[in-house]
Amino acid sequence: MPEIVVVHSWKDEQKDKVMEFANKVTSMAKEKKLPAGLKLLGIDLAQGKNMAVCKWDADSLNHLMEVAQSLGPTWDIQAFEAKTIYKKGLF
């Protein structure tokens, strides 16, 4: 499965909706209720910025984005497949 990076960015007035979305996805991951083919690897929240980066293992970028859109985000989302070229202890 490819690793997918999803970057969320939002306006100040959207923060509550973004955090609600993040809590829902996190709960689904913890309870193993994410759709088949999707595995949340992590969420990083940028300090002092309206930005978060999520890392996923997903069967496809399209599937992940279809699921994300079904949850109704109203902020900017950019997603792309990523290839690890260095990770401490991996190489």
Quick one: pLDDT at residue 69?
92
The confidence band for 89, taking pLDDT boundaries of 50, 70 and 90, is: confident
Who contacts 17 (Cβ-Cβ below 8 Å, separation ≥6)?
Answer: 10, 73, 74, 75
Neighbours of 58 (CB within 10 A): 24
pLDDT at residue 2, rounded to an integer: 79
- pLDDT of res. 91: 62
The whole-number pLDDT of residue 87 equals 80
Instruction: Give the CATH H-level superfamily of domain 3-82.
Output: Dimeric alpha+beta barrel (3.30.70.1060)
* Tens-digit pLDDT profile for residues 12-58: 999 999 999 999 999 999 999 999 999 999 999 999 999 999 999 99
Indicate the pTM of the whole model.
0.89
